[in-house]
């Protein structure tokens, strides 16, 4: 039984490695489909002669624009702003068509029945820059590095460097896989998705540490001599907890995915896949890497004499 | 033996009391969120009208009349209250504020003052305690839009006049008398010279080009030469100025702790800022702040010198300054108000490396002479022209050779020191900036989307709670109570932070953080189950379950906390907001998941009888 489990674990480790390679291939060939937050784009503004509700206007505008635009209203639904990607063509083109179609409808209706029909006046079309400055992107990269080093340091002090490496490897796996999914599926990557990557990091670490913590405990109690058995035992005794936590979290995210609609769709996809791969990697990677790096069962027995462990 | 174990198992009275007090505090902080923000319109009788024209007051004016006017235009009124001269109208829908105000002004403006505001409808005692609801993001409740115009042309022109001054100084240092330098337009300057001293002239020109490599030299005539910014360099200069201004604006918004603002470059020389949750544009304007700049000058040694600038201080005394700035506000890295050993107020400044070098060089040779700080603000006058208004804000004597760290002493009061330090921090704009457009913007997400989001989150949480109650029975109910308390504590903590802003993804993150807090309890309960299987008694299993799981929980949470803190300190926008929720969520989930649920368990289980978690004793 234990042999089967170990083999399965090693196999899933290689499987994880293959998936990371696949995700990286996606990132390099497809690239991330960066959202307006990062790329900037065109801002077009128009005003209406009467108050229009956000939903109605959205329905009217949608046929004229490519996916991924943002519509905002001001002045009680009489002044409208559309942010859309810079697709190389004239930014005004869609607005002209849109204005024509609405205003023609208006005049036709005018002749027949309705008097106060909707009229649109175009206002402005102008280029807008990204929400995120260059310096922030550089800083962000530095920050991630700093975060990873701090985690490595803390875990090395508290556990053991090989266990720390396992957690960080799992972390990389999770983040890369989610980014890979976004690259392959061409889903829009905006600041909200970046934020959900942050939640995935937190979740992934949590999962890895709980397995690592149990490994340490079993090693300390000195009842097993095989590192293989220790890892399997640790996974077995934490599996119920892992499944319950992942399950309930996935249920919440699933509800967001199905019921919350378009606005939280990308967010739900990122978190759902992040938690799935996070659960997988806590078993396949963070528990297996220390073994591959040569962690032995009697590590803590050797340590005991020299260092006074924290409780 | 048995009694000593019981001691282990229980919290002391003071510990329980502490828990209850903390929870109550959080509850009170979270409470204002129960009362949504409402649009309030005050209709006040004009004083003059009341005295002189009382006969002409609209006879039928009454709360009912106001309601009738509004209802005729499909604006729903939530509540109307009257005091002596004021009728307070609370609207059901916040978005109708503007049209309602407009309508009332049209009908009642002759005899009544109409004033609208956004207020919290919470009870008086809560307002007195200073409770504030969490601000909602642009997607949920809209905010204010500002479009700023950055006058890069003016900045360019200022730069050229600085260069002119610098060249004059260079010429004087090289003892070249017959040199005339003047600015031609905003991108070029002219140098007139006598052709007799050719080698000195060319040395000067080489030096100019070395100091300002961005300039292009061209010959106008035998005695005139011009230096100008080429097209490319002009574009580069504008882009740099815009980048700098954008960075400063982001910095200012950040300093105020608003995490979910949108700051973008719009077109060539405009900046678009969308601030969430600020319904009062006046306040927002103050936030975008003084479109100000700061410069530090030296008093002119000779009042009849050509390169002087004259300005009056607050007392009307005319100061003659050396026209060349020592350093400007853009060199200031930080400024903090403080006090010296004697307790008199001062402002501590730290400069960047360029400013530090300039200051060091300047102060070495000017100990004992005063340094003047001038604060300038740009605004548009009636003709829509940008006008610069300058004011002396400090005259300080240089007391020692200074480096990049020094302080401005002799401040009038600590309030003045606070103000100055704030201006110094915010004053690093190199180009004049004016607000050209200002609008109130509606929520980006429609009401339907928001409702769906909230519905989805409720479903998610309900599934989690149901599962816990079924799986862990009595302990599960305890976990659920702890979760609810966790949500309240998190809301309370966020309400206490002035800059925290909730967006729809933020709320989802909040619910997720709370969902992940389930983990704390699951870890503990699984531990207890294990201990029970080992054959321990119920009470001792609970005791060691909590104790053993705590180390694991601590490790897992500290690591996540490290990530959260680092990402908070440099993240931007939603990332920052999310990191904040994550960190606070860890704190509250540790608190409720470990300590509160422990106290609850103590109350719920007091003896070893019966079975727990389905494990037979």
CB A168 within 8 A of CB A151: yes
d(CA B129, CA B293) in angstroms, rounded, equals: 38
Q: What is the pLDDT of residue A39?
A: 81
Mean pLDDT of chain A: 82
Q: What is the pLDDT of residue B76?
A: 77
Q: What is the pLDDT of residue A270?
A: 93
Please tell me whether residues A9 and A56 are part of one structural domain.
Answer: no
B526 sits in which H/E element: helix B504-533
Q: Which band of pLDDT confidence, cut at 50, 70 and 90, is reported for residue A271?
A: very high
Q: Does A14 touch chain B (CB under 8 A)?
A: no
Q: Order of strands across the sheet with B112-120?
A: B77-82, B86-91, B37-45, B112-120
CATH code, A89:
3.30.70.100
Q: What is the pLDDT of residue A80?
A: 87
Q: Which residue of B has its CA nearest to A152?
A: B559
pLDDT above 60 (res B604): yes
Q: What is the pLDDT of residue B8?
A: 52
Answer yes or no: is A73 within a domain.
yes
Q: Which band of pLDDT confidence, cut at 50, 70 and 90, is reported for residue B430?
A: low
d(CA A58, CA A64) in angstroms, rounded, equals: 10
pLDDT above 70 (res B234): yes
Q: What is the pLDDT of residue B615?
A: 63
d(CA A185, CA A187) in angstroms, rounded, equals: 5
Q: What is the pLDDT of residue B613?
A: 66
Answer yes or no: is A311 within a domain.
no
Q: Which band of pLDDT confidence, cut at 50, 70 and 90, is reported for residue B535?
A: confident
Please tell me whether residues A123 and A138 are part of one structural domain.
Answer: no
CB contact under 8 A, A128 and B570: no
CB contact under 8 A, A258 and B456: yes
Range in A34-38, A67-71, B303-307 the model is least confident about: B303-307
Q: How far is B49 from chain A (nearest CA, A)?
A: 32
Q: What percent of chain B has pLDDT over 70?
A: 81
Q: What is the pLDDT of residue B194?
A: 76
Answer yes or no: is A252 within a domain.
yes
Stronger pLDDT, B613 or B76, i.e. the higher one: B76
In this predicted model, what pLDDT tens digit does every residue of A228-260 receive, in sequence order?
Answer: 888 888 898 899 999 999 999 999 899 989 888
pLDDT above 50 (res B1): no
CA Rg value for chain A: 27
What average pLDDT score do residues B359-383 get? 75
pLDDT above 50 (res A198): yes
A interface mutation test: which of B263, B574, B583, B587 has the most A CBs within 10 A?
B574
Using CB atoms, pick whichever of A55, A129, A209 lies closest to residue B559: A209
Q: Does A40 touch chain B (CB under 8 A)?
A: yes
Please tell me whether residues A168 and A104 are part of one structural domain.
Answer: no
Q: Which band of pLDDT confidence, cut at 50, 70 and 90, is reported for residue A56?
A: confident
CB contact under 8 A, A256 and B445: no
Using CB atoms, pick whichever of A202, A248, A267 lies closest to residue B582: A202
CB contact under 8 A, B463 and A252: yes
Q: What is the pLDDT of residue A269?
A: 93
CB contact under 8 A, A129 and B264: yes
Please tell me whether residues A158 and A250 are part of one structural domain.
Answer: yes
Q: How far is CA A241 from CA A166, A235, A247, A253, in A?
A: 20, 10, 10, 18
- Per the listing, tokens 């079309």 go with A125
Q: What is the pLDDT of residue B480?
A: 92
pLDDT above 90 (res B63): no
Q: How far is B196 from chain A (nearest CA, A)?
A: 51
Answer yes or no: is A106 within a domain.
yes
CATH code, A232:
1.20.1640.10
Please tell me whether residues A241 and A282 are part of one structural domain.
Answer: yes
pTM for this prediction? 0.76
Q: How far is B193 from chain A (nearest CA, A)?
A: 44
Q: What is the pLDDT of residue B49?
A: 47
Q: What is the pLDDT of residue B47?
A: 60
pLDDT above 50 (res B2): no
Q: What is the pLDDT of residue A184?
A: 93
Q: Which band of pLDDT confidence, cut at 50, 70 and 90, is reported for residue B382?
A: low
Q: Does A137 touch chain B (CB under 8 A)?
A: no
Answer yes or no: is A24 within a domain.
yes
Q: Which residue of B has its CA nearest to A207?
A: B556
Q: Which residues contact B447 (CB under 8 A, 6 or more apart)?
A: A54
What average pLDDT score do residues B208-213 get? 85
Hey, what are B497's tokens?
């932070």
DSSP string, chain A: -HHHHHHHHHHHHHHHHHHHHHHHHHHHHT--EE-HHHH-EEEEEEEESS---HHHHHHHHGGGS-SS-EEEEETTTTEEEEEE---SS-TTHHHHHHHHHHHHHHHHHHHHS-SS---EEEEEEEEE--SS-HHHHHHHHHHHHHHHHHHHHHHHHHS-HHHHHHHHHHHHHHHHHHHHHHHHHT-EE-HHHHHHHHHHHHHHHHHHHHHHHHHHHHHHHT----HHHHHHHHHHHHHHHHHHHHHHHHHHHHHHHHHS-GGGHHHHHHHHHHHHHHHHHHHHTTTTHHHHTT--TTHHHHHHHH-----
pLDDT above 50 (res B53): no
Complex confidence, ipTM? 0.83
In this predicted model, what pLDDT tens digit does every residue of B181-195 receive, in sequence order?
Answer: 888 888 888 888 877
Q: Which band of pLDDT confidence, cut at 50, 70 and 90, is reported for residue A113?
A: very low
All structural domains of chain B: 2-32+445-604 (1.20.1640.10), 36-121 (3.30.70.260), 152-233 (3.30.70.1020), 290-439 (3.30.1360.200)
Stronger pLDDT, B563 or B514, i.e. the higher one: B563
| Counted domains in chain A | 2
Of A98, A128, A158, the one marking the end of a domain is: A128
Q: Does A152 touch chain B (CB under 8 A)?
A: no
Q: Which band of pLDDT confidence, cut at 50, 70 and 90, is reported for residue A42?
A: confident
CB contact under 8 A, B460 and A256: yes
pLDDT above 50 (res B55): no
Please tell me whether residues A87 and A221 are part of one structural domain.
Answer: no
Q: What is the pLDDT of residue A274?
A: 94
CB contact under 8 A, A264 and B456: yes
Mean pLDDT of chain B: 78
Q: Which band of pLDDT confidence, cut at 50, 70 and 90, is reported for residue A264?
A: confident
In this predicted model, what pLDDT tens digit does every residue of B493-524 receive, in sequence order?
Answer: 888 887 778 888 888 777 777 767 888 889 99
Of A110, A128, A146, the one marking the end of a domain is: A128
pLDDT above 50 (res B5): no
Of A106, A128, A150, the one marking the end of a domain is: A128
CB contact under 8 A, A72 and B444: yes
Answer yes or no: is A71 within a domain.
yes
Q: What is the pLDDT of residue A20?
A: 94
Please tell me whether residues A218 and A261 are part of one structural domain.
Answer: yes
Q: Does A243 touch chain B (CB under 8 A)?
A: no
B interface mutation test: which of A62, A260, A262 has the most B CBs within 10 A?
A260
Answer yes or no: is A260 within a domain.
yes
pLDDT above 90 (res B383): no
Please tell me whether residues A76 and A222 are part of one structural domain.
Answer: no
What average pLDDT score do residues B320-346 get? 76
Please tell me whether residues A163 and A277 are part of one structural domain.
Answer: yes
A interface mutation test: which of B95, B97, B250, B552 has the most A CBs within 10 A?
B552
Could you list the residue range(s) of the whole structural domain that residue A211 is in? 2-35+133-306
Q: What is the pLDDT of residue B283?
A: 59
- A222 Rama sector, left if φ>0, alpha if ψ -120 to 50, beta otherwise: left
Please tell me whether residues A18 and A67 are part of one structural domain.
Answer: no
Please tell me whether residues A235 and A298 are part of one structural domain.
Answer: yes
What residues of chain A lie within 8 A of the CB of B555, using their CB?
Answer: 158-159, 209, 213
What residues of chain B lie within 8 A of the CB of A135, using their CB?
Answer: 247
Stronger pLDDT, B481 or B370, i.e. the higher one: B481
pLDDT above 90 (res A178): yes
Using CB atoms, pick whichever of A75, A126, A249 lies closest to residue B267: A126
Q: Which band of pLDDT confidence, cut at 50, 70 and 90, is reported for residue A5?
A: confident
d(CA B551, CA B533) in angstroms, rounded, equals: 21
Q: How far is A134 from chain B (nearest CA, A)?
A: 10
Q: Which band of pLDDT confidence, cut at 50, 70 and 90, is reported for residue B363?
A: confident
Q: What is the pLDDT of residue A177?
A: 95
Q: Does A239 touch chain B (CB under 8 A)?
A: no
Q: Does A39 touch chain B (CB under 8 A)?
A: no
Using CB atoms, pick whichever of A128, A147, A311 lies closest to residue B551: A311
Please tell me whether residues A293 and A196 are part of one structural domain.
Answer: yes
In this predicted model, what pLDDT tens digit does every residue of B284-297 receive, in sequence order?
Answer: 666 565 556 677 88
pLDDT above 90 (res B466): yes
């Amino acid at each position: 039984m234990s042999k089967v489990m170990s083999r399965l674990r090693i196999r899933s480790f290689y499987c994880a490695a293959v998936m990371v390679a696949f995700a990286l291939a996606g990132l390099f060939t497809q690239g991330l489909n960066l959202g307006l937050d990062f790329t900037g784009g065109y801002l077009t503004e128009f005003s209406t002669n009467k108050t229009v509700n956000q939903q109605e206007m959205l329905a009217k505008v949608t046929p004229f624009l490519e996916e991924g635009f943002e519509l905002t209203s001001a002045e009680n639904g009489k002044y409208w702003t559309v942010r859309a990607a810079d697709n190389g063509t004239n930014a005004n083109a869609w607005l002209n068509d849109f204005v024509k179609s609405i205003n023609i409808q208006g005049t036709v209706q005018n002749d027949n029945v309705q008097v106060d029909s909707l009229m649109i006046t175009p206002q402005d079309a102008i280029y807008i820059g990204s929400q995120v400055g260059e310096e922030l992107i550089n800083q962000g990269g530095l920050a991630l590095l700093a975060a990873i080093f701090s985690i490595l340091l803390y875990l090395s002090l508290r556990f053991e460097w090989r266990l720390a490496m396992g957690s960080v490897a799992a972390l990389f796996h999770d983040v890369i896989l989610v980014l890979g999914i976004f690259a392959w599926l061409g889903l829009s990557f905006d600041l909200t998705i970046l934020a959900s990557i942050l939640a995935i990091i937190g979740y992934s670490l949590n999962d890895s540490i709980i397995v690592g913590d149990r490994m340490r405990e079993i090693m300390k109690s000195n009842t097993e001599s095989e590192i293989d058995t220790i890892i399997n035992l640790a996974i077995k005794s934490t599996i119920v907890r892992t499944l319950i936590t992942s399950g309930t979290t996935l249920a919440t995210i699933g509800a967001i995915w199905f019921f919350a609609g378009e606005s939280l769709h990308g967010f739900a996809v990122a978190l759902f896949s992040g938690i799935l791969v996070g659960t997988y990697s806590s078993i396949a990677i963070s528990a297996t890497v220390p073994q591959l790096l040569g962690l032995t069962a009697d590590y803590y027995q050797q340590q005991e004499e020299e260092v006074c462990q924290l409780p | 033996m048995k009694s000593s174990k019981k001691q282990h198992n229980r919290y002391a009275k003071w510990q329980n009391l502490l828990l209850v007090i903390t929870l109550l505090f959080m509850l009170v902080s979270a409470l204002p969120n129960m009362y949504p923000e409402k649009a309030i319109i005050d209709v006040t009788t004009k004083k003059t009208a009341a005295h002189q024209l009382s006969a002409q007051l609209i006879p039928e004016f009454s709360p009912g009349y106001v309601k009738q006017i509004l209802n005729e235009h499909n604006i729903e009124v939530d509540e109307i209250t009257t005091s002596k001269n004021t009728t307070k109208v609370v609207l059901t829908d916040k978005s109708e504020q503007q049209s309602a105000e407009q309508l009332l002004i049209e009908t009642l403006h002759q005899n009544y003052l109409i004033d609208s505001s956004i207020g919290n409808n919470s009870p008086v005692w809560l307002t007195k305690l200073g409770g504030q609801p969490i601000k909602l993001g642009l997607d949920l409740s809209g905010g204010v839009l500002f479009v700023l115009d950055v006058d890069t042309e003016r900045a360019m022109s200022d730069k050229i006049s600085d260069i002119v001054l610098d060249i004059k100084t260079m010429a004087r240092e090289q003892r070249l008398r017959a040199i005339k330098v003047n600015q031609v337009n905003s991108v070029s300057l002219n140098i007139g010279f006598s052709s007799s001293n050719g080698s000195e002239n060319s040395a000067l020109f080489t030096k100019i080009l070395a100091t300002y490599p961005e300039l292009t030299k061209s010959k106008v005539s035998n005695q005139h030469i011009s230096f100008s910014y080429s097209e490319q360099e002009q574009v580069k200069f504008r882009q740099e100025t815009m980048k700098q201004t954008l960075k400063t604006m982001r910095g200012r918004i950040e300093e105020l702790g608003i995490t979910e603002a949108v700051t973008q470059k719009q077109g060539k020389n405009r900046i678009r800022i969308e601030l969430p949750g600020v319904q009062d544009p006046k306040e927002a304007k103050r936030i975008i702040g003084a479109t100000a700049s700061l410069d530090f000058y030296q008093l002119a040694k000779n009042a009849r010198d050509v390169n002087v600038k004259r300005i009056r201080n607050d007392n009307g005394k005319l100061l003659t300054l050396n026209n060349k700035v020592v350093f400007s506000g853009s060199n200031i890295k930080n400024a903090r108000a403080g006090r010296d050993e004697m307790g008199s107020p001062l402002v501590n400044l730290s400069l960047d490396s360029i400013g530090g070098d300039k200051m060091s060089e300047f102060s070495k040779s000017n100990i004992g002479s005063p340094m003047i700080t001038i604060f300038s603000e740009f605004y548009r006058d009636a003709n829509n022209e940008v006008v610069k208004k300058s004011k002396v804000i400090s005259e300080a004597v240089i007391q020692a050779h200074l480096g990049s760290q020094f302080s401005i002493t002799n401040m009038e009061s600590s309030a003045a020191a606070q103000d100055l330090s704030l201006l110094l921090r915010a004053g690093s704009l190199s180009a004049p900036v004016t607000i050209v457009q200002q609008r109130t913007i509606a929520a980006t997400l429609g009401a339907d989307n928001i409702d769906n989001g909230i519905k989805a989150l409720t479903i998610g949480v309900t599934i989690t709670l149901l599962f816990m109650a079924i799986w862990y029975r009595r302990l599960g109910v305890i976990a659920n109570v702890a979760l609810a308390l966790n949500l309240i504590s998190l809301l309370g903590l966020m309400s206490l932070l002035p800059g925290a802003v909730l967006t729809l993804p933020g709320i989802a993150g909040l619910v997720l953080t709370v969902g992940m807090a389930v983990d704390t309890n699951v870890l503990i309960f699984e531990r207890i189950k294990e201990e029970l299987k080992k054959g321990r008694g119920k009470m001792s299993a609970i005791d060691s379950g909590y104790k053993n799981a705590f180390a694991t929980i601590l490790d897992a949470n500290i690591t996540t906390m490290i990530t959260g803190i680092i990402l908070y300190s440099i993240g931007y926008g939603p990332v920052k907001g999310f990191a904040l929720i994550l960190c606070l969520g860890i704190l509250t989930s540790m608190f409720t998941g470990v300590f509160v649920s422990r106290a609850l368990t103590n109350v719920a289980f007091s003896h070893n009888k019966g079975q727990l978690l389905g494990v037979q004793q």
